Every structure is written in structure tokens, then in C-alpha cells.
Homo-oligomer: A and B are copies of this chain.
Amino acid sequence: MTEVEGTDTRTRLLEAAADLIAAAPGEDFSLRAVCDAAGVKMPTLYHFFGNKQGLIEAVVERGFDMYLSAKSSTESSGDPIQDLRLGWDAHVAFGLENPGFYTLMYGKVRPGYSPEAQSKPSEILRGLTLKAEQDGRLVVGYEQAAAHVLATNIGVTLRLIIQGKNDPELSAGVREGVLAAITGTGQSEPGDGRLGHSVIERAAANPGILGETETQLLIQWIGRLGEV
């Protein structure tokens, strides 16, 4: 810009690239456009990022940071399954709000290609399923459960991005189906250590029936029943 530019060049390039990507999702943006927006020539960009892929990865990493900071603020209900639910919704919401970033992060499908930054959210997800497993809530291994959740969560989000409009019913439907599948809801025998899980799942899946506080209380009470 003609104004003073307090931010350093690298950051300016990164933000310019992020803007262009957000404006036109996909990776079909021009490095020259990025340089123009940042008020710099191309070798400068190459100096900082090596090549286009380097710039994209830096942008993606930045996107994941945004995603994680947006996610970490809304994820700690105590109940791991409920955390999975919140994480699912946060994932979908981020994808719909930032389709440009999201398609770069999860929409690029090449065999063997998995951005470095993807590992962090996956780690968090596995942490949640591990906790759920330790609580005896899963009927499949925690890694299997995490893969199950991840694949479907991405699938739904990409689908929603493609069709442009959000579809809470689809997202919630798939989400509950997935959670039911990994928790074995409906197949649990009384007294097998998973007391009341179907009730909890059902209540949490439909917060409108009981209301948020009642649902939370219900989960808490059933937990106390199970402890004894």
C-alpha cells in the first residue's frame, strides 16, 4: 500500500495469499497477483517460501492455526462423546465459513499427500476417542473410531461446501450415525458398564427436547448412577 507498512513482508505476502485464496477457493491463484497485492516482486516471494507449494503450505498452516484457536475455545464438556460432537460441529462450521482454507487443508486429494499441519487436529481427535475408549464408551478401537469420525466429518463438510448451502440436518444426521456406530448405542445390554449411554446420546443429539441445562444435568445424574 502507499501507507506505512508496519507488518513485515512475509506476513503481508501470507495475508495477501490468504485473501486471494479466500476470494477464489482452490489453488488456482497467481503468485504475481499475490506479489502485486503485497507490493513486492516475485523473487521476494521465492525468497521466503521457496516455491508455490511452500506458500500454500504456509497458508494452510495459518489456516489450521485459525481452525484450532476457533475450536479450542468451544471444546471441553467433560464428556468425550459430547466433545466429539462439539468438535464435529466446529469442524463443519469452519469449513463452511472458510471454504478456501478448508479445501486447501482437506480438499486436496492426492495419494500419499497429507499436509503436515493436519496431524495436529487428528491428534486432538485421537485424544478424544482414546479418552472415550478408556471410559468404556467405544465398541471399536479408538484409532478406528477416530478414522471413522475424521473421514465422515470431512466427507460431510466437503459435500456441504460443494452444494453451497449448509444443511444442519445432514451434518447432524451423519454425526449421530457415526457416534452411534462407534459407541454401539442401542446394542448395549443393561449392566454391561455402558449404562444409559443411549439415553445420553439421544438427549445430547436433540438438545431441543430437554434444553441444554437439563441435558447436562441428565448426563451428570446418569454418570452418578453408573458409578455406584
Question: Which residues on the B side are within 8 Å of A173 (C-beta)?
Answer: 140, 144, 148, 181
A153 to B218, CA, bound (A): 32
Give A98 Cβ to nearest chain B Cβ, in Å: 12
Residue A161 lies at the interface, judged by CB distance under 8 Å to chain B: yes
Residue of A113, A151, A167, A228 contacting most chain B CB atoms (<10 Å): A151
Give A162 Cβ to nearest chain B Cβ, in Å: 6
Question: Which residues on the B side are within 8 Å of A113 (C-beta)?
Answer: 162
CB of B178 within 8 A of CB of A180, answer no
CB of B114 within 8 A of CB of A110, answer no
Residue A14 lies at the interface, judged by CB distance under 8 Å to chain B: no
A170-202 Cβ-contact flags toward B at 8 Å (1 or 0): 100110111011101111101100011111011
CB of A110 within 8 A of CB of B181, answer no
- The one of B162, B169, B206 in contact with A144, judged by C-beta atoms closer than 8 angstroms, is B169
A199 to B199, CA, bound (A): 8
Q: A103-B110, A196-B196, A198-B190 are in contact. Are A177 and B182 (CB under 8 A)?
A: yes
Determine chain A's interface SS by DSSP, over half rule: helix
A184 to B198, CA, bound (A): 13
Residue A224 lies at the interface, judged by CB distance under 8 Å to chain B: yes
The residues of A with any CB-CB pair to B shorter than 8 Å are 25-26, 99, 103, 107, 109-114, 140, 144, 147-148, 150-156, 158-159, 161-164, 167, 169-170, 173-174, 176-178, 180-182, 184-188, 190-191, 195-199, 201-203, 206, 209-210, 214, 218, 221-222, 224-225, 228
> Can you report 5 residue pairs joining A to B where beta carbons are below 8 Å apart?
A25-B111, A111-B162, A151-B159, A152-B155, A181-B186
The 8 closest A-B pairs by CB, nearest first: A155-B155, A177-B181, A190-B198, A107-B109, A151-B159, A196-B199, A186-B187, A186-B186
